[in-house]
Each structure stands twice: as structure tokens, then as C-alpha cells.
Amino acid sequence: PSKVKISDVHFRNIRGTSISAVSISLNCSSTFPCQGIELSNIDLQPIAPIGPLRSSCSNARFFVTGKINPTAPASCV
């Protein structure tokens, strides 16, 4: 378990490619969940034939503004 708390991080206006099918991954500490994470105007495309990109999340409180590709994680349980 981590003893570091992450908060108020902004991922804005990100465009690019990904070789990984899970191109957005928010994995935070269960002891100190991340808070105030902003995902804004993100557009990632696969660089290889890996199928549609997806995102994952655990122990993070985030909010979305603008368009996000791949779509933001549904939950962070």
C-alpha cells in the first residue's frame, strides 16, 4: 500500500497513438485514492491492429470534460 496521496492532476489536450489496448489506466492506492483527476479532450488511436482501445481505473475520483477516446472508465471500484 502506498503512503502517497495524488490529487488535482489534469490530463488535457492529449493526442497520439497507443500500442496497448488499455491506453488510459488510472490505478491509485486503496489507502489514499486519487482525487480531483481531470480527463479533458483526449484522443488516442491504436498504432497496430489490436482492436478498440479501452480504459481502466481503480481507486480514483475523476471527472471528464470534453471528448475522450477511448471512453473514460465507467467506475473506479
Residue 3: the pLDDT is 83
Residue 59: the pLDDT is 93
2-56: per-residue pLDDT in tens?
788 999 999 999 999 999 999 999 999 999 999 999 999 999 999 988 889 999 9
Q: Which residue has the cell 477516446?
A: 69
**Residue 1 cell numbers, joined:** 500500500
Q: What does the domain layout of the chain look like in residue ranges?
A: 7-69
Mean pLDDT across the stretch 63-70? Answer: 95
Distance, in Å, from the CA atom of 73 to the CA atom of 53, rounded to the nearest integer, reads 12
Global confidence as pTM: 0.86
The yes-or-no verdict on residue 77 having pLDDT over 70 is no
